[in-house]
Amino acid sequence: MRIPSMLRPALLAAAALFAVAAQAQERFITVASTTSTEQSGLFGHLLPAFEKASGIKVRVVALGTGQALDMARRGDADVVFVHDKVAEEKFVAEGYGVKRQEVMYNDFILIGPKADPAKAAGKDILAGLRKIEAAKAPFVSRGDKSGTHAAELRYWKAAGVDLDAKKGPWYRDTGSGMGPALNTASSMNAYILADRGTWLNFKNRGELGIVVEGDTRLFNQYGVILVNPAKHAHVKQADGQKFIDWVVSADGQKAIADYKIGGEQLFFPNAAK
Amino acid sequence: MYELSASLALAGDLIAAGDARLAGIVLLSLKVSLGATLVSCVLGMPLGALLAVGRFAGRRSLIVLFNGLMGLPPVVVGLLVYLLLSRAGPLGQFGLLFTPTAMVVAQIVLITPIIAALTRQVIEDEWREFREQLRSLGASRVRAARTLLWNGRFSLTTSALAGFGRAIAEVGAVMIVGGNIDGVTRVMTTTIALETSKGDLPLALALGAILIGVVLAINALAYAFRQWAERRWG
C-alpha cells in the first residue's frame, strides 16, 4: 500500500507532462530565421503555400541572424534562412551547413525624424551616416549581432567613422530585435538602419520616415542553408531539402514576389536559375 | 490615454469575434501553465511540508535556498532549460526543445520553489498549532507532514495560485525554450511581446487585457471552488 501511494504524485506528474506532450505528432521541420522575415509577415504568407504543396509544416524560430546561426550550430534547426552573407559562408565553411543558396533580397533603409535635423536625407547611405555622426544626432543601433547590425557596422566603417572612438551618448546600442529597436527610435525620434520589410509592417512610426533609400550598397541578400546532417544526425535532411528546393523553385519565388503590403513588394526573389 | 481606451475596445472586439487563433493561444497558455502548476504542486507541496516539519542537517540552508529561488529570473531558467534540451545538450536526444513540453518544464523549474516556500510557511504555522497533538498520537514526521498538508489544503490553494500566476505571466523562459512558433508554442505572453515588436501597441495591450481577464477568471473560479469545498467538506 505504501509504495503505490508514494508513487501516485510522480505518476500524476508524468501524466500531466504527457498530456501536454501528446499533441502535435505531425510532419514538420524547424527553420531558424530572422526577426525581419517573421515580423515583416513574409512567413505568414509563404509557409501556408509550402505546407499546401508539400504537407510539411514549418516551425519558424525567429532570432537575429547571429543567434539563428548559433542555434543551428547546436543542432536545434534543420534549415537556416538568414541575411548575412559573410556569417553564412563562415557557417558553411565550418561544416555546419551543407550549401548556401541565395533566395531573395530586399533593402535596408535609413529611418529618421521627418524633420531630419542632421540633414542626412539623400541617396548616399555613407554621406548620411557621416552627417548624423557630425551632428551627434541620436542614432539607435540593434547591437544584437543580427544581419542588420552587421550591415550597419559595415556602413559606418565604409563611411570612415570609427565608432569605437566616436561613440557617445548619441549612439544608443539597444541590443534588441528590429521591432523593439524601431520602437525605441520612434520614442526617441532617432535615426536607425532598418530593413524595408519590417518598416513597412511597423505601425508605431511616430514622427519617423525614410531618410535614405535607393543606394545600391543598401542591398540585403537572404540565403538559405540546410544544416549539415554529418554534424547533427537528427537533421531532417529530406524534408529540409524539400523546403529549400521549393523556396528557390519558380513557385516559391513567385510566392515571395507576390507578398505585398499596401501594394508595395517587400522581397525580390533572385535565386540562381 | 487614447491608446488605453482603444485597446480595451479592441480587446472587446477580439473576444466578441471569437477568433480561433486567439482561442488556441489562450488555451495553450492555460494548458502549459496549469500543467506546470499541477506538477509543481505535486513536487513542491510535499517538499515544503517536509521542510516545515522535518529535522535534518541543512534544513535551514534549504529554506533560505527555496526562499531565494522564488526570485529566479525567468530568462536564466529559460537559458538553463534551453541548454539542457538543446540537441547539443545532455537531454538533446528527446527532441523536446521548441515544444510545449519544454515550456512546461521551464515553468516547473520556475514555480516549484515558489510553491514549496509558500507551502512551508503554511505548514509551519499549522505545525506549531498541532505539533503536540500529532506527537501524542505517535505520528512520524512524514505522517505529520501528510496530515498537515491535507488539513491545510484550503490555505494551500493560495500557494498554487501564486505559482500559477507567475507561470502564466512570465515571458522570458517560454520565449527561449518554446521559440514562439506560430500555432505550436505561441502563448499569450510571447504573442504580446511579438506584437509589441511589430509596433502594434494597441493590439499588444488588448491581448494583455485578455490575459489579465483570463487570470482573474481562474482566480475567481479557484476562490468559488474553495468556498464551496469548505462548506461541503471543511
Q: What is the pLDDT of residues A180-215, one digit of tens each?
A: 999 999 999 999 999 998 999 899 999 999 999 999
Query: Is the confidence at residue A7, as pLDDT, over 50?
Result: yes
CA distance A255 to chain B (A): 20
Name the range with the highest mean pLDDT among A5-14, A22-31, A199-208, B114-123: B114-123
Q: Is A30–B98 a contact, with Cβ atoms under 8 angstroms apart?
A: yes
Q: Is B99–A24 a contact, with Cβ atoms under 8 angstroms apart?
A: yes
pLDDT at B4: 81
Give the residue-averaged pLDDT of B90-100. 93
Pick B181's closest partner by Cβ from A61, A74, A76. Answer: A61
DSSP string, B102-142: HHHHHHHHHHHHHHHHHHHHHHHHHHHHHHHHHHHTT--HH
pLDDT at B20: 87
Test the A interface: residue of B2, B27, B39, B194 with most A CBs within 10 Å: B39
Query: Is the confidence at residue A13, as pLDDT, over 90?
Result: no
Confidence class for position B184, pLDDT limits 50, 70, 90: very high
pLDDT at B199: 86
For chain B, percent of residues with pLDDT exceeding 70? 99
pLDDT at A8: 62
Pick A17's closest partner by Cβ from B39, B95, B179. Answer: B39
Cβ-Cβ contacts under 8 Å for B220 (sequence gap 6 or more):
none
User: What kind of fold does domain A107-218 have according to CATH?
Assistant: D-Maltodextrin-Binding Protein; domain 2 (3.40.190)
pLDDT at B75: 95
Q: Which residues of A touch B88 (CB under 8 A)?
A: 74-76
Query: Is the confidence at residue B163, as pLDDT, over 60?
Result: yes
Q: Is B39 on the interface with A (CB under 8 A)?
A: yes
Q: Is B104 on the interface with A (CB under 8 A)?
A: yes
Confidence class for position B61, pLDDT limits 50, 70, 90: very high
Test the B interface: residue of A26, A28, A76 with most B CBs within 10 Å: A76
Q: What is the pLDDT of residues B134-145, one digit of tens each?
A: 989 988 999 999
Q: What is the pLDDT of residues A46-64, one digit of tens each?
A: 999 999 999 999 999 999 8
pLDDT at A2: 46
Confidence class for position B198, pLDDT limits 50, 70, 90: confident
pLDDT at B12: 87
| CATH number of the domain encompassing residue B154 | 1.10.3720.10
Q: How far is CA A246 from CA A6, A83, A241, in A?
A: 54, 18, 8
Rounded to 5°, angle at Cα A87 from A67 and A142: 50
Query: Is the confidence at residue B69, as pLDDT, over 50?
Result: yes
Closest-CA residue to B118 (of B145, B156, B144, B147):
B156
Looking at every residue in chain A, the average pLDDT score rounds to 91
Q: What is the pLDDT of residues A149-186, one digit of tens each?
A: 999 999 999 999 999 998 899 999 999 889 999 999 99
Q: Which residue has the cell 504543396?
A: A53
Query: Is the confidence at residue B206, as pLDDT, over 80?
Result: yes
- The CATH code for residues A24-105+220-269 is 3.40.190.10
pLDDT at B233: 78
Interface confidence (ipTM) of the complex: 0.82
The domain tally of chain B equals: 1
For chain A, percent of residues with pLDDT exceeding 90? 79
Give the span between the Cα atoms of A43 and A107, in whole angstroms: 18
Q: Name the interface residues of A facing B (CB cutoff 8 Å).
A: 9-10, 12-13, 16-17, 19-21, 23-24, 30, 35, 39, 43-44, 59-62, 74-76, 177-180, 182-183, 186, 201-205, 232, 234
pLDDT at B1: 61
Query: Is the confidence at residue A21, as pLDDT, over 70?
Result: no
Give the span between the Cα atoms of B166 and B116, in whole angstroms: 14
Query: Is the confidence at residue A20, as pLDDT, over 60?
Result: no
Confidence class for position A22, pLDDT limits 50, 70, 90: low
Structural domain boundaries, residue B104: 2-233
For chain A, percent of residues with pLDDT exceeding 70? 90
- For residue A216, what is its C-alpha cell? 545600391
Query: Is the confidence at residue A3, as pLDDT, over 50?
Result: no
